[in-house]
Amino acid sequence: MLRNLVRLHSRVGHALSPPIVCPRSQALKLPLPLLSVNSKYYSIITERKKFYEDVSISHGEAGGMFEINLDQRKLKTPGGKLFTAPNKALAIAVANEWDTQKDTVKFYSMHMTTLCNTALDNPTFRSKDQMITAALKYLETDTICYRVEEPPSLVELQNNEWDPVLNWIEDRYNVVVGSSTNILGPEIPQATMDTFRQHLGSYNFWSLTGLEYVITQLKSVVLAFALIDKHITVEQAVLLSRLEEEFQIGHWGNVEWAHDVDLYELRARTAAGALFVHFSSESSTVKRKLMQD
């Protein structure tokens, strides 16, 4: 069933993964704008007429950091900080988002930029421990841990498509997660929570920002871990997170354009979050491989 769903939506495939290299990236010259507004303004304004011409990426004064220059002016975060990326791969990804904007800058479509802004400004002033606790809350209500008792065809679909991922994460991390038809969900052992907390603690602040974002998009710690570990693809992760919805659509139909928009946007956000995790990783080997791919 999942393979059929993947084929059904394959026409969008990689188009929704945020592109990494711009056509003009040879000289790191890209058209990209300056955003220097406060958080309140940024949260209200979702679109704006394009107001820039050229963009360049340069080494920042702080060692190893990269800055984005927009028409000779430096990009800033909504909180007013100098926008800096920890490596070239992430800087190019952000620059490419701005480069693909046409006559109108659509801020809501710029997921990599938003994640960088969140990591830099930390608007809710959270520590890593607080972020980890928030992420683990999703394990208690994880999408693939909640099962239905009827109809039989949906029960079978959930077992066939969700169980392999659940078995994978239990084997991969030597934990017990389980599933339940109870409205309260399965009771997650403390040992499992401790293992996942330790694993999340191994990520740096930037990567954790991206991983938490992926978890919230999929409403699943299990699917997020499987995606980041490259056990499943973005397309598979999204369809698995929407399994019951896709089942209902298959039986009752849907408003096609609305369904497609929701699906594509979720893919785009999930892909951006996954790329952000890898680009924010401290492993330069991972970054080089992703750039080549």
Q: Among the listed ranges 7-21, 53-67, 154-168, which one has the minimum average pLDDT value?
A: 7-21
More confident residue, 72 or 214: 214
115, 276 Cβ separation under 8 angstroms: yes
Q: In sequence order, what DSSP letters do the residues of the chain get, joined into one string?
A: -HHHHHHHTTTTGGGGSPP-S-TTGGGTB---------HHHHHH--EEE-----EEEEE-SSTT-EEEEETTEE-B-TTSPBPEESSHHHHHHHHHHHHT--SEEEGGG-HHHHHHHHHHH-TT---HHHHHHHHHHHHHT-GGGB-----HHHHHHHHHHHHHHHHHHHHHHT-----BSSTT-----HHHHHHHHHHHHTS-HHHHHHHHHHHHHHT-HHHHHHHHTTSS-HHHHHHHHTHHHHHHHHHH---HHHHHHHHHHHHHHHHHHHHHHHHTSS-HHHHHHHHH-
User: What is the pLDDT averaged over residues 147-155?
Assistant: 94
- Above 60 in pLDDT, residue 42? no
Would you state the pLDDT for residue 13?
A: 32
User: What is the pLDDT averaged over residues 3-18?
Assistant: 35
Fold of the 128-281 domain:
ATP12-like fold (1.10.3580)
Q: Using CA atoms, how far apart are residues 268 and 291, in angstroms rounded to an integer?
A: 18
Q: Using CA atoms, how far apart are residues 119 and 280, in angstroms rounded to an integer?
A: 10
Q: Among the listed ranges 20-29, 50-59, 250-259, which one has the minimum average pLDDT value?
A: 20-29
pLDDT tens for 104-140 read: 888 889 999 999 999 999 999 999 999 999 999 999 8
Pick the CATH number of 50-121 from 3.30.450.20, 1.10.357.10, 1.10.1740.10, 3.30.2180.10: 3.30.2180.10
Q: Which amino acid is at 172?
A: R
Share of the chain above pLDDT 70, in %: 77
pLDDT tens for 179-237 read: 999 988 899 999 999 999 999 999 999 999 999 999 999 999 999 999 999 999 999 99
- Above 50 in pLDDT, residue 154? yes
Locate CATH 3.30.2180.10 in the chain.
50-121
- Above 70 in pLDDT, residue 16? no
Q: Among the listed ranges 46-50, 206-210, 219-223, 261-265, which one has the minimum average pLDDT value?
A: 46-50
- Above 90 in pLDDT, residue 80? yes
Q: Among the listed ranges 56-60, 81-85, 148-152, 163-167, which one has the minimum average pLDDT value?
A: 56-60
Would you state the pLDDT for residue 287?
A: 44
Please state the pTM of the whole predicted model. 0.80
Locate CATH 1.10.3580.10 in the chain.
128-281
| Averaged confidence pLDDT in the chain | 82
- Angle between the N-to-C axes of helices 256-279 and 205-218, in degrees from 0 to 180, rounded to the nearest 10: 160
Would you state the pLDDT for residue 254?
A: 66
User: What is the pLDDT averaged over residues 45-53?
Assistant: 81
Would you state the pLDDT for residue 281?
A: 84
- Above 70 in pLDDT, residue 160? yes
